[in-house]
Amino acid sequence: MTPDPTPEKPRPITALPDIHRLRARFVAISWRDLAVSFGPALVFSLAALWLAVWLVQPAPPNTISISAGPKGSSFHDAAEKYAQILARNGITLKVLASEGSLDNVRRLADGKQAVDLALVQSGISSELDKEGLVSLGGMFYAPISVLYRGKEMHKLSDFRKSRIAIGREGSGARVLALALLKANGIEPGGSASLIAYDGEDAAQALVDGEIDVAMLTGDSATGPTMRKLFRTPGIRLLDFAQADAYTRRFLYLQKLVLPTGVFDLGKNLPAHPIRLISPTVELVARDTLHPALSDLLIEAAREVHGKAGLMQNAGQFPSATAHEFPLSDDATRYYASGKGFLYRHLPFWLASLLDRALVVLVPIIVILIPAFRLVPSLYSWRVKSRIYRWYGALIEIERVALVNPTDEEKTELAARLDQIEEAVNRMKMPLAYADQFYVLREHIVFVRRRLTGS
């Protein structure tokens, strides 16, 4: 019987690394560092976006309204033409009849009124509250026509004892007539009779002999009414001999000249040039008018008023002239450089959409992209700073170790080095920076050797 083989001695069991603890030390991403790095950029980006959205103009409204003059007047006719042009771009312009320029300004100045625009004759609103109202420019002339019976006259002062139709309350014609008559010594309660007739009523009263003089202008007379009076025998159109003086006294007035035969070449009407004085009619809006609509309205006005006529040259209107209302910033830009690139090449609705979108995209391109490009660098700095801050402590210990410290000092330095090593071993480090982590641990060992002299 063979003896049993000698049993093998058990192999010593070596300690295995705690893989779970090792994994816990290294992580793919340091979420805390990422949050600290990403947070400021995110807050800054959100603030930039909020500011861009706050500053961006809302979409232009699809419906706006304009206070014009009486139906059939040059004011009302012009507003109707604006409405037809704006309709091509999907904008509805409601034309509201009114008593005239004075009524238009009052409506526009009243925030409770649903009025966005108004045609206003210059020289009539000096005593009104114009806060928040701006001009889109001069649109056309509205010459004051003084028609009368009797012998030929050349001055308003010649009508001191006449019956004069000066227009109804609320009309620009009345305000202007009163101002011109006052400059000639004719005022209510004086020797002249000032009657609140206008338009067709004033024309018919003049034809019937009920009045001697009719002072008519754009918002108080229709084209047919004026043509009827010009062709009625015995009725004359006043030739303002003092036209130049009026333009010096009233800065909102312009001197105009009607050429011989302009009304009727065959009958040679008028038989000689006639000097007239005229205010300019402005398109006035609230200062909250959308910039895109401002451009669209001036474009419409250019189409309506840009042609040559009896009183103007081609391209003279609309113009950047403003009298009683400041020219809006949008109108100033338009007259200087025209429509924007998008509005010149794209349909209005699409250009408006892209124009507003660009206000948001530009901050994203200019601010957000560079801001987020800084995040990786900031993240890397945050992680490395946790390693670098221990190097300062190591350098301090090494410097003391190099000057022959006492045993007591060595013991104290060794304790501090143990604390540093323990703290470093507890650090959580992204895997991408593991090499720098191990280099730090090697340097801790190096300093310990310098301290112990081994």
Nearest to residue 33, comparing CAs of 379, 433, 436?
Answer: 379
According to the model, what pLDDT value does residue 199 have? 81
According to the model, what pLDDT value does residue 94 have? 96
According to the model, what pLDDT value does residue 16 have? 41
Tokens of 341: 């690139």
According to the model, what pLDDT value does residue 85 have? 94
Q: Is residue 418 part of a domain?
A: yes
Distance, in Å, from the CA atom of 218 to the CA atom of 69, rounded to the nearest integer, reads: 9
Q: What is the mean pLDDT of each run of 10 residues along the chain (454 residues)?
A: 50 46 53 66 69 62 90 89 92 92 90 92 78 92 91 92 89 88 93 89 91 84 75 90 94 91 82 91 92 87 89 87 85 79 63 60 68 76 83 86 83 88 83 85 87 74
What is the tally of structural domains in the chain? 1
Q: Is residue 441 part of a domain?
A: yes
How many other C-beta atoms can be found within 10 angstroms of the C-beta atom of residue 110?
Answer: 11
Q: Is residue 415 part of a domain?
A: yes
Q: Is residue 94 part of a domain?
A: no
Q: Is residue 243 part of a domain?
A: no
Q: Is residue 359 part of a domain?
A: no
Dihedral, CA atoms, 244, 245, 246, 248, nearest 10 degrees? 90
Which structural domain range is residue 436 located in? 19-52+374-452
According to the model, what pLDDT value does residue 271 have? 85
According to the model, what pLDDT value does residue 297 have? 93
- Tracing tokens 């660009």 back to the chain, one arrives at 358
According to the model, what pLDDT value does residue 277 have? 94
Q: Is residue 411 part of a domain?
A: yes
According to the model, what pLDDT value does residue 217 have? 83
- Residues paired with residue 406 on neighbouring β-strands, in sequence order: none
